Amino acid sequence: MHKTMAMRRLEQAGLGYEAREYPATLRDASRVAAAIGVPSARMFKTLVVERTRGRPLLALVPADRSLDLRALASIVNEKKLTLASHHDAERLTGLQVGGISPLAVRHGAFDVVVDISALVGTRDVEGKGPTDDGHDPIWLSGGRRGKSVGMQAADLVALLEAEVALIAA
- State which amino acid sits at residue 50: E
Domain with 87 in it: 5-165
- Give the pLDDT confidence score for residue 139 in this predicted structure: 97
d(CA 84, CA 6): 22
The number of folded domains in the chain is 1
pLDDT per residue as tens, the chain (169 positions) = 689 999 999 999 999 999 999 999 988 899 999 999 999 999 999 999 999 988 999 999 999 999 999 999 999 999 999 999 999 999 999 999 999 999 999 988 999 999 999 998 644 444 443 344 456 899 999 999 999 999 999 999 999 999 999 999 9
pTM recorded for the entire structure? 0.89
Q: Per residue, what are the HEC states of 104-140?
A: CCCCCCCEEEEECHHHHCHHHHCCCCCCCCCCCCEEE
Q: Say what the pLDDT of residue 21 is.
A: 95
Task: Give the pLDDT confidence of 65-98 residue by residue, as tens digits.
Answer: 999 999 999 999 999 999 999 999 999 999 999 9
Residue 24, domain CATH: 3.90.960.10
